[in-house]
Amino acid sequence: MIIRAMGLGFVLWLISMIVFRFAGHMFFEPGKELLPFVATPVIAGIVTFICLKLLKEAPGDEAEAAIGLALPGMLLDAVVVHEFDVVMPYMSPSMETPFAALMLLAYGAVLFVGLSMTKLAPQDERV
């Protein structure tokens, strides 16, 4: 289950990085970050919901699958942010920090959706 989710997470990360590399400068410009900051967590949440349904996780395993979806991207985006000028040559170098914040919002949305979809057994809800 986790390996399938991590594989899907890697594929989703690769697709998003290709889009950001070649078209990111069209919709992610200095001074105009509001729309991406509002849209990205919503899109990430919807994509996560769809992916978790496609993976057909057992009830209670959605949070683990969401971690599997988010983990490859979180690890690889650390390299992307570190080498931002090389990986994102068409984007302004000043967009490095907003890009990193945007990715944190997206992965936070992935984890939130996974946690909110998880149905815990009554014995798991003890404090």
Helix (H) or strand (E) holding 67: helix 62-82
Side-chain-side CA neighbours of 1 within 13 Å: the count stands at 14
Judged against a pLDDT cut of 80, whether residue 123 lies above it is answered with: no
Which residue's structure tokens are 């890697």? Answer: 10
Residue 120: predicted pLDDT: 66
* Tens-digit pLDDT profile for residues 5-58: 999 999 999 999 999 899 888 887 777 778 888 898 999 999 999 999 999 888
* Tens-digit pLDDT profile for residues 45-81: 999 999 999 998 888 888 999 999 999 999 999 999 9
List the domain boundaries for the chain: 2-22+34-118
DSSP 8-state class, residue 57? P
Contacts with 49 (C-beta within 8 Å, 6 or more apart), sequence order: 113, 117
Is 123 or 71 the better-scoring residue by pLDDT?
A: 71
Contacts with 72 (C-beta within 8 Å, 6 or more apart), sequence order: 6, 9, 10, 13
